[in-house]
Amino acid sequence: MILSRGPHLKIPKAEFQSRSMEEEPMELSLEEMERRHILKILKHTRGKINGKGGAAEKLKLHPSTLRFRIKKLDIIMERNSSKAVT
C-alpha cells in the first residue's frame, strides 16, 4: 500500500539513487569497474568460466570473449584452486 498526502506522490531524489553506486568510488575507470565485476563473478562461480552456472553464462558472454577480457585486464587465475587473483 502506498500512502500520499494529496494527488501526487513525492519521493526524495535520494530514494532513487542506487545503493551499489554509493559503494563504488566514482573515480574508477571503466576498465577497473569491469575488472572488479569480472572478479566478483569469478569468485561467485569459484573460477568456473564456461558451462552451466559459469561466469561466461552469468555475464552473457561467449567463454572465449571472457577469457580474452580476463587476459586483457591482467586477471590471474590460480591453477590449483580455480580462484582469481587480484
Q: Considering the domain boundaries, does residue 22 fall inside one?
A: no
Within a domain: 20: no
pTM higher than 0.75 for the full model? no
Residue 58 lies in a domain: yes
User: Is 3 a member of any domain?
Assistant: no
Instruction: Give a yes or no: residue 10 inside a domain.
Output: no
Give the helix, strand, coil percentages of the chain, each rounded to 5: 45, 5, 50
Instruction: Please name the residue ranges forming H helices in 1-86.
Output: 19-23, 30-44, 55-59, 63-72
3-state secondary structure of 84: strand
Per-residue confidence (pLDDT) for residue 49, from 0 to 100: 95
Residues 6 or more apart whose CB falls under 8 angstroms from that of 63 comprise 49, 50, 54, 56
41-66 pLDDT per residue, tens? 999 999 999 999 999 999 999 999 99
Domain range for 59 is: 29-85
Q: Is residue 21 part of a domain?
A: no
| Count: domains in the chain | 1
15 inside domain: no
Instruction: Say if 43 falls within a structural domain.
Output: yes
Q: What is the CATH number of the domain that holds 35?
A: 1.10.10
> pLDDT at position 37, please?
96
